[in-house]
């Protein structure tokens, strides 16, 4: 397994996100890159079906198909990370969502560098907008029947150029989060706007 887990530049561009506000990293429904590792093996897959579930303690849910290497590693290790890629990482996101990690190291094949997580033994993808480190809350019946994993967020991080003070503020077109439709079609997160409570349009 290639050792590219030391990436000082990537780690230095992140700041901690208050765990009670970690849900805001996922609330707008971006594509995520799910990273996993166990016993010297690692993998990354793309997942659109990931969502926040709770505030304190923060929880997330993600669907991981039973046939995948990611599922094998998450089942064995009980941990995963949700990485939120940029518009500039869309090609790599499609690539890791279209190939099996049983055939090759998908990080290397897609040109994705990694760095070490703080609380879990799973790599984080460099260049992303945000990262959530997660420990599985065992629900074997739910996972077995629906491929649905529930996990507690034990650490959350964001690139301050795109997320600070609990809010997204995408700096440019390439550094927006992305949303997957189908067949290689994505769209980027659009312009934000504010609504004043009680105001009529």
In a domain, 193, yes or no: no
* Residues 183-199 pLDDT 10s: 999 999 998 888 888 76
In a domain, 65, yes or no: yes
* Residues 4-51 pLDDT 10s: 444 444 555 799 999 999 999 999 999 999 999 999 999 999 999 999
* Model pLDDT, residue 1: 35
Whether 3 shows a pLDDT value over 80: the answer reads no
* Residues 72-123 pLDDT 10s: 999 999 999 999 999 999 999 999 988 888 888 999 999 999 999 999 999 9
In a domain, 198, yes or no: no
* Model pLDDT, residue 10: 52
In a domain, 24, yes or no: yes
In a domain, 201, yes or no: no
From CA 116, how far away is CA 126, in angstroms rounded? 10
SS (H, E, C) the chain: CCCCCCCHHHHHCCEECCHHHHHHHCCCCCCEEEEEEECCEEEEEEECCEEEEECCCCEEEEECCCCCHHHHHHHHHCEEEEEECEHHHHHHHHHHCCCCCCCCCHHHHHCCCEEECCCCCCEEECCCCEEEEEEECCCHHHHHHHCEEEEEEEEEEECCCCEECCEECCCCHHHCEEEEEECCEEEECCCCCCCCCCCCC
Average pLDDT, the chain: 91
In a domain, 71, yes or no: yes
Domain around 12: 8-188
Structural domains counted in the chain: 1
- For the chain, the residue count is 201
In a domain, 200, yes or no: no
As beta bridge partners, residue 85 has none
**pTM for this prediction:** 0.91
Instruction: Give the CATH number of the domain where residue 138 resides.
Output: 2.30.110.10
């Amino acid at each position: 397994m290639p050792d590219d887990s030391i990436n000082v530049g990537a780690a230095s561009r992140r700041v901690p996100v208050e765990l009670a506000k970690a849900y805001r990293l996922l609330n707008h429904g971006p594509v995520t890159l799910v990273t996993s590792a166990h016993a010297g093996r690692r993998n990354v897959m793309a997942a659109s079906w990931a969502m926040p579930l709770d505030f304190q303690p923060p929880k997330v849910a993600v669907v991981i198909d039973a046939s995948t290497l990611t599922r094998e590693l998450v089942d064995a290790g009980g941990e995963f990370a949700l990485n939120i890629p940029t518009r500039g990482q869309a090609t790599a996101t499609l690539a890791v969502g279209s190939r099996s990690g049983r055939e090759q190291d998908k990080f290397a094949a897609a040109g994705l560098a990694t760095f070490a997580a703080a609380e879990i033994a799973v790599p984080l993808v460099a260049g992303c907008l945000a990262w959530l480190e997660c420990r599985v809350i065992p629900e074997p019946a739910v996972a077995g029947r629906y491929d649905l994993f529930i996990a507690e967020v034990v650490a959350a991080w964001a690139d301050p150029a795109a997320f600070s003070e609990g809010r997204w503020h995408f700096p440019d077109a390439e550094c927006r989060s992305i949303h997957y439709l189908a067949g290689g079609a994505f769209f980027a997160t659009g312009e934000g706007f504010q609504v004043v409570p009680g105001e009529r349009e």
